[in-house]
Amino acid sequence: MAKKKNDSPWLPFYFALAQFYEEYLLDENQQIYSAIYESKTLYHTPPWIDKNYRAVLLVDVNALREPLEHVATAFYAAHKAVHQREKDYDPNKIPRLPMYVPRINDDESIFKMQVHENKAHSSKNHKKNEMIPVISVTKGDLSRVIKSDSDEKITYQAALDIAIKALKDEGYVVNVQDDIASTYVTVDIDVNKLCELHECDSIQRRFFTGRQIRANFFSRIDGKMQKSTLKSVGVLLTNQHIEVVHSHERTTRTDAIYTAEHPDEIVLEAIPPVLRSGRLYKKYKVK
């Protein structure tokens, strides 16, 4: 397995954010104790950051302003360390904080929000000289047994090791990514071998990127109710109760270009479905 990367300039920021959660938002069982709304259960294993967590939390916002400034300072320092050598880097431009960093709601006129959750996907074409992600597994799952109707019990780690060996045996170049700052172990293979075996010119990968979570915010101003345009939710901290209602989840488009059981889909049988990172499709040059 690849060597873990533990020298990321982002680590001080990740630790600062994890410490903020532990000191101000988590109870003794490492659970969020003040949620009005949560998109999912927070995955909290420092220094890994749950970048997909969205929530509205009822807290004493004034007590959290200064600690949040320390988190922001850590982010700005990491951002500078990563980007300062880039040609277009502007040291006077303050970068926007990531959506997963908690922010304070100071608008006391907001009394309700309507949450819209939709599955988000992305698609990318990979050329023959590139590597392509084919496996992704959460580190917290590695020691767990995979749920199955089979009598054979196997952990995610064991299934991962078997899949990596099988891919190597089939002749793929295999690259395992195990970054300490990431919550996932990922595996890439070479596109050249894929195209050779499946007689195509490139590979299109379609993958799930998470849930797109946005909301309309309702407020009362001068006795009149106003509805905002759709805005990202993030992790919102408020000192007043906000009513949360949900819209119906939008169904998957039936006219999607890439669908299950597509004639050009490549299924890597060496990888169990629970480990697969997206779907792969053959692409050809236009003649």
- How do 110-126 and 243-246 pair as beta strands? parallel
Q: How many residues does the chain have?
A: 287
Q: Does residue 273 have a cis bond before it (omega within 30 degrees)?
A: no
**pLDDT per position in the chain (287 positions), as tens?**
444 445 688 889 999 999 999 999 999 888 898 999 998 888 887 777 788 889 999 999 999 999 999 999 999 999 999 999 998 999 899 999 999 999 999 998 999 999 998 877 889 999 999 999 999 998 878 888 988 777 778 999 999 999 999 999 999 999 999 887 677 899 999 999 999 999 999 999 998 877 788 999 999 888 899 999 888 889 999 999 999 998 865 544 444 555 556 788 999 999 999 999 999 999 998 65
What distance in Å separates the CA atoms of residue 250 and residue 255, rounded to the nearest whole number?
14
Residue 239 φ/ψ, nearest 5 degrees: -105, 15
Global pTM exceeds 0.75: no
Give the gyration radius of the chain's Cα atoms.
22
Residue 126 φ/ψ, nearest 5 degrees: -120, 130
The burial of 210, by beta-carbon neighbours within 10 Å (0-12 exposed, 13-18 middle, 19 or more buried), is given as middle
